[in-house]
């Protein structure tokens, strides 16, 4: 028996986690930019934050492209978490991937 969660709840939970992830990455990056941080070094993190926010908004609007974007940015976020040794962030990323890959959630976005 496959365990499935209501897709509307899954999308809401995933969007909240994407926004929280964007905040935890974005605020330190902005603090570094206000200091004397280099934009070229911080640009990948700014793009990741923008992608997390765009994916969260798109998921809440039911856009198909947002499911794909969410998978990409969560994968990148997980990679950064592995490189930093951030176990909590990695677990949250795994939860988001789990919720996005449930059959009913995938069907809601028309993803096979």
pTM for this one?
Answer: 0.88
Query: Hey, where are the domains in the chain?
Result: 7-108
What pLDDT, in 10s, does the model give residues 89-98? Answer: 899 999 999 9
- Given the structure tokens 């039911």, which residue do they identify? 62
Task: Count the Cβ atoms, other than its own, within 10 Å of residue 100.
Answer: 22
Q: Assign 3-state DSSP to the chain and report helix, strand, coil percentages, each to 5.
A: 80, 0, 20
Confidence of residue 30 (pLDDT cuts 50, 70, 90): confident
Confidence of residue 49 (pLDDT cuts 50, 70, 90): very high
Cβ distance 75 to 59 under 8 Å? no
Among residues 61, 31, 65, which one has the least CA distance to residue 46?
Answer: 31
Confidence of residue 2 (pLDDT cuts 50, 70, 90): low
């Amino acid at each position: 028996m496959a365990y499935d969660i209501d897709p509307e709840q899954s999308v809401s939970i995933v969007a909240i986690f994407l926004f929280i992830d964007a905040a935890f990455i974005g605020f330190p990056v902005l603090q570094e930019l206000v200091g004397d941080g280099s934009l070229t070094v911080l640009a990948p993190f700014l793009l990741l934050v923008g992608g997390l926010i765009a994916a969260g908004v798109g998921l809440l609007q039911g856009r198909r492209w947002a499911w794909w974007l969410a998978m990409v940015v969560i994968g990148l976020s997980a990679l950064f978490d592995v490189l930093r040794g951030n176990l909590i962030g990695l677990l949250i990323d795994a939860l988001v991937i789990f919720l996005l890959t449930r059959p009913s959630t995938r069907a809601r976005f028309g993803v096979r």
